[in-house]
């Protein structure tokens, strides 16, 4: 697929080997000009140099910084064709133990950031524009103890459908992908637990957990001329047909999430 001279923003791609990083690389390889953004500028600079793009620090939870990111794209290229938001905050905990602050953080990064991202990026787009949000299979498939994260992602999936109707008449498509379990920088510690990856892979019909490149391929298709909008696309090797492992099935899982919650 060629995206030659398309102008793209990818937010949330500072982790080398992560899905955001892989998506930015795939867009650049297809010919797009890419502005990469995340809270940490140093690794972004390395990525931008590698793909011949631009880099800017941006906290997804700050609507003013998202607006500044859009301004940079406007100043650099005069508009935008592709926008992908990969930023996420995997807040963990049970409802019975929840407090206001972490739940609000989950909403700020995993839902409200997408509202601001869609609004700001769509304002720079014309016919053929494509916005892709990275959701999670936990939005439709219960994965304890991620209720705050999952509920925020479910709200973003609803946002996708509303945005698709609102921006469709302008020729702008809005979609999301729902990754299943993935081997990436964000999940490195989880899948370093002996036996953990096998437990998740048993629930995936294709027999393995996902890789960043799997999600990059899906995003690349949605950013091309696909006749698709308002779609929450499972990209999970078929895991949406089965289930996620229960807490009591995960080796050392309960101790692990309690330490990080």
Helix-strand-coil split of the chain, %, nearest 5 = 50, 15, 35
Helices and strands in the chain, H and E counts: 10, 7
Give pLDDT tens digits for 92-122.
888 999 899 999 999 999 999 999 999 999 9
Give the pair of three-digit tokens for residue 31.
């010919």
Catalogue the active-site residues.
149
Given a contact cutoff of 8 angstroms between Cβ atoms, the answer to whether 106 and 148 are in contact is yes
Q: Residues 6 or more apart from 129 whose CB is under 8 A from it? A: 80, 81, 82, 83, 122, 167, 170, 171, 172, 173
For residue 37, which of 53, 57, 21 has the smallest C-alpha distance? Answer: 57
Spell out the per-residue pLDDT of the chain, length 261, in tens.
799 999 999 999 999 989 999 999 999 999 999 999 999 999 999 999 999 999 999 999 999 999 999 999 999 999 999 999 999 998 988 899 989 999 999 999 999 999 999 999 999 999 999 999 999 999 988 888 889 999 999 999 999 999 999 999 999 999 999 999 988 777 778 888 999 999 999 999 999 999 999 999 999 999 999 999 999 999 999 999 999 888 888 886 544 444 443
How wide is the angle at C-alpha 91 spanned by C-alphas 86 and 92, nearest 5°?
A: 135
DSSP, res 134: E
Q: Residue 248 has what pLDDT?
A: 85
Give pLDDT tens digits for 143-180.
888 899 999 999 999 999 999 999 999 999 999 999 99
**Yes or no: domain 7-260 corresponds to CATH 3.40.50.720:** yes
How many C-beta neighbours within 10 Å does residue 158 have?
Answer: 12
């Amino acid at each position: 697929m060629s995206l030659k001279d398309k102008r793209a923003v990818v937010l949330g791609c500072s982790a080398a080997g992560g899905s955001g990083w892989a998506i930015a690389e795939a867009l650049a390889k297809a010919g797009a000009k890419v502005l990469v953004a995340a809270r940490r500028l140093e690794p972004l600079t390395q990525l931008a140099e590698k793909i011949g793009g631009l880099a800017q620090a941006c906290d997804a939870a700050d609507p003013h910084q998202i607006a500044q990111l859009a301004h940079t794209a406007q100043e650099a290229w005069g508009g935008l064709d592709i926008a992908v938001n990969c930023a996420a905050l995997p807040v963990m905990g049970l409802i019975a133990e929840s407090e206001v602050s972490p739940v609000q953080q989950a909403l700020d990064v995993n839902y409200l950031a997408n509202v601001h991202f869609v609004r700001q990026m769509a304002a720079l787009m014309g016919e053929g524009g494509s916005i892709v949000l990275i959701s999670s299979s936990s939005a439709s498939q219960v994965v304890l103890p991620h209720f705050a994260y999952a509920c925020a992602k479910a709200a973003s999936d609803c946002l996708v459908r509303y945005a698709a109707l609102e921006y469709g008449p302008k020729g702008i498509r809005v979609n999301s992908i729902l990754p299943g379990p993935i081997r990436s920088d964000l999940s490195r510690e989880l899948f370093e637990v002996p036996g953990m990856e096998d437990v998740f892979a048993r629930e995936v019909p294709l027999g393995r957990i996902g890789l960043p490149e799997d999600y990059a391929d899906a995003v690349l298709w949605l950013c091309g001329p696909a006749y698709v909008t308002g779609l929450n696309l499972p990209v999970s090797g078929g895991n949406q047909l089965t289930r996620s492992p229960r807490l009591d099935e995960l080796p050392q899982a309960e101790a692990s999430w309690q330490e990080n919650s």
